[in-house]
Structure 1
């Protein structure tokens, strides 16, 4: 990437924060401008250093990630926040998105996905963790969070809609091809175009978009 991404991170678990900060500090295109142990520290840090992207734990002392995100988004509209969550915090993830976060990651996400999430939200895309469960996808779809509101309407061909439904069922390109009599390569081409049309990065993004736009039903993905 051409530009350095100025990043701030917040988490009250020192060992996790140390590991995350060390990994991020080794990335040439990311400049770690500061770290915080609670929401109040994070708000002060962001006002002082003006990072492009913030990664923050949801549960923190003094001020949690939800309150910090809500305040930061109101005071600094261009800020892009990624929520860091445990696997069993679905309701809190929804609250973070409704507070203004641009994406979320489970804390067990690998290095590659963490970097992908940072780069995606920096470029103003929404990022959904690859490990998103059907339960969480349904909760987000029913929530007030809607990043598609101001985007132009997108139309999909019948074949694309068919493939979208199969992607949402977690089928691989080979399995989809076998099901609808297309080659794996052809299906991969369709999948690439679908992701581009939806402006999403992974299968979780396809599921979320499809649910929000009534291309699939929750019972279809459970």
Structure 2
């Protein structure tokens, strides 16, 4: 878009006070225009389809359709619309699934107002924008060299814990059984599996098992 053009924004957040505060802030900034609001993922998708904004400022955890799935649907229905996640969650599983869904940026709600505005302008300009803590992990996974100890492993992007979980998954172990083996809660195992699927760029358990077996992981025993 032209540098002088107004950036049109939809704000999606299920907390009325937070949403209202963001809308009020954005309306004070020259060159930004709020064209829609949404309290859940379904409404965010509808607003994006209706108004065709330049950016959707998207919360992650919302009732019904969450922000990650809403992002995936918006990117499919309106490819020119950018999505900037603004959330309090910075765990690897959420970050990577949001990226896989098509988010161009990921900021925490503790970010300064000026940083939010810069991020909005950045994603519209085609940049990938991440908060400092998130950026470190993204760079560590995708830009950093693999550690020497992991050089021979077929999936060096996985952490040691993720490898243990993938190996058991590839041997047909269920989530609860993997948790028992590794002294982890089923929720922790499920979160790790979500991250593994995102890193391997697979759609679910079955595809992950195939990828693991192709890489020589968990084929026997």
Counterpart for residue 70 of structure 1? 72
Cα deviation, residue 13, structure 1: 1.1
Does the 8 A contact of 2:49 with 2:77 survive in 1? Answer: no
Counterpart for residue 177 of structure 2? none
Within-5 A mapping of 1:9-158: 9-132=11-134, 134-135=136-137, 137-139=139-141, 141=142
Does the 8 A contact of 1:138 with 1:218 survive in 2? Answer: no
| 1:26-82 superposed Cα distances (whole Å, 9 cap, x missing partner) | 111101101100000001111111100111001111100111111111111111001
Does the 8 A contact of 2:48 with 2:78 survive in 1? Answer: no
CA distance in 2, matches of 1:39, 1:88: 19
Counterpart for residue 154 of structure 1? none
CA distance in 2, matches of 1:131, 1:116: 17
Structure 1 vs Structure 2 CA RMSD: 2.1
CA distance in 2, matches of 1:138, 1:218: 14
TM-score (normalizing by structure 2): 0.61
Does the 8 A contact of 1:83 with 1:93 survive in 2? Answer: no
Q: 1:76 to 1:98 in 2, by over 3 A?
A: same
CA distance in 1, matches of 2:112, 2:87: 14
Consecutive unaligned residues in structure 1, runs of 5 or more: 142-209
CA distance in 1, matches of 2:147, 2:119: 26
CA distance in 1, matches of 2:148, 2:101: 24
* Alignment length (residue pairs): 147
Q: 1:117 to 1:133 in 2, by over 3 A?
A: closer
TM-score (normalizing by structure 1): 0.61
Cα deviation, residue 217, structure 1: 5.7
CA distance in 2, matches of 1:53, 1:93: 18
Within-5 A mapping of 1:167-186: none
Consecutive unaligned residues in structure 2, runs of 5 or more: 150-221
Counterpart for residue 211 of structure 2? none
CA distance in 2, matches of 1:41, 1:26: 24
CA distance in 2, matches of 1:27, 1:43: 25
CA distance in 2, matches of 1:32, 1:218: 49
Greater Rg over alpha carbons, structure: 2
CA distance in 1, matches of 2:77, 2:43: 15
